[in-house]
Amino acid sequence: MVDASASGSLWRSVRNLPEFWRLLELRTASQFGDGLFQAGLAGGLLFNPERAADPWAVAGAFAVLFLPYSLVGPFAGALLDRWDRRAVLVWANVGRLLLVTGVGLLLAVGAGESAVLCGALIVNGFSRFVTSGLSAALPHVVPREQVVTMNSVATATGATATFLGANFMLLPRWLFGSGDAGAATVIFLVAVPVAVALVLSMRFPHHELGPDDTARAVHGSAFYAVATGWIYGARTAAGTPTVAATLSGLSAHRMVFGINTLLVLVIVRHSDTPAVAGLGLGTAVVFVAATGSGSFLANVVTPPAVRRWGRYATTNAALIFAAVIQLAGATLQLVVMVVCGFFLGLAGQVVKLCADTAMQIDVDDALRGHVFAVQDSLFWLSFIVAIAVSAAVIPLDGQAPVLALAGSVIYLAGLAVHAIVGRRRAISI
């Protein structure tokens, strides 16, 4: 009865914030499209019987998708703190709509991986731009005392939408096949939720989502703001202990996630079965689903944990928990790794929610977009570096327990940095 009452109270709180509700609808449509696009791309390139994928090919695919944006993103993030965020969301979705159609056409004509991945890179850049904009805008539609709770609601909603989009991909893939034609069909379908997101982004009044022109706003030409975006974002993140600390823990988690992702994909690809296009993708989807389920649970447990123990202690506990769970992954048994994926998804999302909250509460609105863009850079750069290093040492069959054990060490390193840096503000948060 208590749980039902709490759920009802939360529902009423969300419904009493109409602009937050609109933001939630926009996030749902946008991230459903993201999940469908990423799953469709993975199925079309990594689990396509017409194409091959060894460890370096997998690492290369992820690098082309995310590394360039990780380096450019912080500069573009300056625009979130300079231009009307509502306008940014509208035009970013327009760009996504056009580019998704282009990637679908490339797959339909059987273009090479490089062309497809370059197109996907730009799509992903626009998608991350939208996600960062939504996160930076949240404090404008939610009272400060409700930011932690509503951030969890938004993240849970987005994660669920991404998961549903990724799994929806299985239907058109089953109907139209696992080759290039089927992959192109999946990508064309992405245009539907992206178009919905575009329409939803137009409903906000101009300037309602920020940014605020505070004393810390970066003035000067647009070129100056973009060129110095990374510097301002990195300086703000480093100068805010709560942000610097949680970003270190988040980077550690993303490195371990990169290692585990490569291990699972290579082990699955190595299975000598003619049905790798179906079986391999199915196993990968189960792994992603388990990780996503853990992340979803984190959105439920993080707000009460933060209220009781604070962000500092909650993040420390999550990193310790993750380091222990990662040890079990050294067995390299797919069933065990799926279970570990669930618990690591839980721990990692707790850290990310604490990082998001630190940026939304402890960072001036005029610089919030800068810092969220830096987070995106660290988010994907950590992931890609881990995959690239792992690809250099992993055997073709994926049997590398030392890599899994290294993940525990990385978590402990992230814990040490977080504990030291975050201690400066631990008492007040």
Evaluate whether residue 89 is within a structural domain: yes
**d(C-alpha 281, C-alpha 277), whole Å:** 6
With tokens 């245009």, the residue in question is: 191
Count the neighbouring beta carbons within 10 Å of the beta carbon of residue 143.
11
Is residue 106 within 8 Å of 116, Cβ to Cβ? yes
Evaluate whether residue 3 is within a structural domain: no
Amino acid present at 243: V
Assign 60 a pLDDT band (cuts: 50, 70, 90): low
Evaluate whether residue 107 is within a structural domain: yes
Q: How confident is the model over 333-383, as pLDDT tens digits? A: 888 998 999 999 999 999 999 998 898 888 887 788 778 778 878 888 898
pLDDT at 426 over 50: no
Cα–Cα nearest to 54, from 259, 266, 276, 264: 266
CA distances from 328 to 149, 294, 297 (A): 32, 16, 20
Q: How confident is the model over 17-59, as pLDDT tens digits? A: 899 999 999 999 999 999 999 888 877 776 665 665 566 666 6
pLDDT computed for residue 361 by the predictor: 87
pLDDT computed for residue 226 by the predictor: 64
Query: What DSSP character marks residue 169?
Result: T
pLDDT computed for residue 162 by the predictor: 87
Evaluate whether residue 4 is within a structural domain: no
Min mean pLDDT across 46-55, 167-176, 190-199, 364-373 is at: 46-55
Burial 252-280 (b: 16+ CB within 10 A, else e): bbbbbbbbbbbbbbbbbbbeeeeebbbeb
Evaluate whether residue 209 is within a structural domain: no
Mean pLDDT (whole number) for 134-141: 86
CATH (domain of 239): 1.20.1250.20
Is residue 83 within 8 Å of 209, Cβ to Cβ? no
Assign 93 a pLDDT band (cuts: 50, 70, 90): very high
Assign 192 a pLDDT band (cuts: 50, 70, 90): very high
pLDDT computed for residue 428 by the predictor: 39
**d(C-alpha 230, C-alpha 171), whole Å:** 41
Dihedral of CA atoms 318, 320, 324, 326 in degrees, nearest 10, equals 60
Query: What DSSP character marks residue 364?
Result: -
Evaluate whether residue 299 is within a structural domain: yes
Amino acid present at 10: L
pLDDT computed for residue 222 by the predictor: 60
Mean pLDDT (whole number) for 196-206: 94
Min mean pLDDT across 65-69, 150-154, 282-286, 402-406 is at: 65-69
User: Of 303 and 179, which is predicted with more confidence?
Assistant: 303
Mean pLDDT of the chain: 83
Min mean pLDDT across 143-157, 223-237, 295-309, 320-334 is at: 223-237
The angle formed by the CA atoms of residues 340, 30 and 92, to the nearest 5 degrees, is 125
Instruction: Return the percentage of the chain with pLDDT > 90, whole number.
Output: 35
Evaluate whether residue 213 is within a structural domain: no
Q: Please, which residues have CB within 8 angstroms of residue 418's CB and are 6 or more apart in sequence?
A: 245, 246, 248, 249, 315, 316, 319
Cβ-based burial of 292 (10 A; exposed 0-12, middle 13-18, buried ≥19): buried
pLDDT computed for residue 272 by the predictor: 46
Domain interval for residue 177 = 18-204+218-428
Is residue 417 within 8 Å of 245, Cβ to Cβ? yes
Element (H, E) at 78: none
Instruction: Name the most confidently modeled range: 145-159, 166-180, 381-395.
Output: 381-395
Mean pLDDT (whole number) for 314-320: 96
Which pair of tokens denotes residue 381? Answer: 């750069």
Cα–Cα nearest to 48, from 106, 110, 6: 110
Mean pLDDT (whole number) for 193-201: 96
Q: Considering the entire predicted model, what is its pTM? A: 0.72
pLDDT computed for residue 91 by the predictor: 93
Peptide bond into 139 cis (omega under 30): no
Q: How many domains does the chain have?
A: 1
Instruction: Name the most confidently modeled range: 207-216, 263-272, 304-313.
Output: 304-313
Evaluate whether residue 408 is within a structural domain: yes
pLDDT computed for residue 425 by the predictor: 57
pLDDT at 1 over 70: no
Mean pLDDT (whole number) for 79-101: 89
